[in-house]
Amino acid sequence: MSQARVVLPMIRAHMPQLPIALMRIAKYAVANPELIVHQSAAQVASSSKSGQASVIRFCRTVGFNGFQDFKLALAGELATRPIRSAEPDASRKLSDQLGDNLIAAIQENRSLLNFGDVEILAMRLLKAKRVDVYGAGFSGILASLLAARLLRLNVHAFAISDPTFGAEVAHGLDGDCVAIAISETGLTRDTVTALRRAHSAGAFTAAITSRPESPLVGAADLMLLAASIESPLTGGALTPAFTQLFVIEVLVSAATIARNDH
């Protein structure tokens, strides 16, 4: 994992799966990153009401070798982060605040995306005889958008939001097919079930999600991570959709470039 500017996004991505002791440390780290870079492991443990061993385990859980490795990466991220006021300016327009939040989400998503995996999936899509895209609710709308964009590249893509239909058509998949599932939490039962059945049928499977340790990722051969950042204005309702859309656009762009090169 590249450790440049991905510390706080990776903490947020892991938070839903963390045990209580590590969750306390995660919340403290997200709320006080500037303090942590000047603290010892013992001080972080005291401030987060945890033990030093838990601090070390937390650092390793989110992808670092230890506390010092974690602090160095965090300091590097903070050094490149735009300076913002501690309190929102009441005179700023609502649209400006929302725009800043979405820009921050996209910037963090750029740090999280593994572009090697994007290229692998793009090539798989271009070679597939059939592509199924699963999603429920708002993710279902994004699934339809992805399928429509792929159709323009002459990829035989179908968006499936009905779980019963998805289960039926999964039996027709094989090793020459690709199945993509979109779910912010990675916990949507019907979407997880559909991807598991596609994987069992032999299809190459991919997940677009904000949760790297979710059941959906367990059914995927490849994961594209979408940033999960709560907005003080939207309660987090819009941000996942925008970051998922960003991932989709990057994927389609990679497929377009690969097709033109060949």
Q: What is the pLDDT of residues 14-38, one digit of tens each?
A: 888 899 999 999 999 998 888 898 8
Token pair for 115: 């572009």
Cβ burial, residue 4 (10 Å; 0-12/13-18/19+): exposed
CA distance 35 to 27: 13
State pLDDT tens for residues 163-219. 677 767 777 899 999 999 999 889 889 899 999 999 999 999 999 998 888 999 999
Residue 122 confidence (pLDDT) above 60: yes
User: Which residues in 22-61 are b (16+ Cβ under 10 Å) and which e?
Assistant: bbbbbebbeeebeebbebebeebbebbebeeebbbbbbeb
The model's pTM is 0.70
Sheet holding 204-209, edge to edge: 157-160, 130-135, 177-182, 204-209, 222-225
Residue 230 pLDDT class (50, 70, 90 cuts): low
Residue 162 pLDDT: 80
State pLDDT tens for residues 208-226. 998 888 999 999 999 999 9
User: What domains are defined for the chain?
Assistant: 7-81 (1.10.10.10), 115-261 (3.40.50.10490)
Token pair for 189: 């039962």
